[in-house]
Copies of this chain bind each other. A is one copy, B any other.
Amino acid sequence: MYPVTPNTKISRSAKRGAYDEATINEILDEGLLCHIAYVQDGQPMMIPTGYCRIGNKIYIHGSVGSHFMRNLADGRKVCLTVSFLDGLVLARSAFSHSVNYRSVVIFSPATVVTDEQERWAALEAFTNHVIPGRWAEVREPSAKEMKATMVISFVIEEASAKVRTGGPNDDEEDYQVPVWAGVLPLKLQAQTPITDPKMLFEMPVPSYVLNYDKAAKPKQD
């Protein structure tokens, strides 16, 4: 359970808030994209980027020449968010319409990772986070590629989740309105893989691509 701070305290619809690691990590582990907000010259800036989690740290990476990475390299604090839109909640009144969602917000200073083992582990975890099983099949980074890559970590300490599930909640008298009501679930789904026309070999599409489902829960053995 993470401490509730003035930043992470959920004030609107407080019952949707959660501060436990299990809820937060499940959202982080399903997500592919995070948004990172930071302050530059007093102004809000934001970048969407990929990420992965190892233990209580989030890792991102980018080019050592990226303005974004270089801005964060001074250790400034960021606000990092991972969000899912899980469904449209269609009520009888316009006002009662809602969405089902899951989101995590983390406040953390940025730390440039310098330990080579940690950098390697982060890149391996990132690749396998995005597409489990991929790292073992591809050419590993060269020394030159590692040198061109900056890895930044964020510690998960000041963090909260917010989750809405379920159907519409209409005002009592609105249940008489003759309109269909319910939930239209939404899911980010893999489509048919497109083989690179530049492939030099005939190779089947791997099962981890064909059966890709980031929302599938990891098997508990």
Q: Are B179 and A196 in contact (CB under 8 A)?
A: no
Q: Tell whether A63 pairs with B12 under 8 Å between CB atoms, given A77-B43, A138-B94.
A: yes
CA distance A199 to B176 in the complex (A): 9
A1 at the interface (CB under 8 A from B): no
Count of this chain's copies in the oligomeric assembly: 2
A112 at the interface (CB under 8 A from B): no
Interface size on A, residues (CB 8 A): 93
Q: Tell whether A182 pairs with B193 under 8 Å between CB atoms, given A46-B105, A85-B33, A167-B198.
A: yes
Query: What are some 23 contacts across the A-B interface (CB < 8 A)?
Result: A12-B63, A33-B101, A37-B46, A43-B77, A45-B79, A48-B81, A48-B101, A87-B191, A88-B131, A90-B131, A91-B138, A93-B145, A94-B134, A94-B135, A94-B141, A139-B177, A170-B198, A185-B193, A185-B194, A186-B189, A187-B189, A188-B189, A189-B189
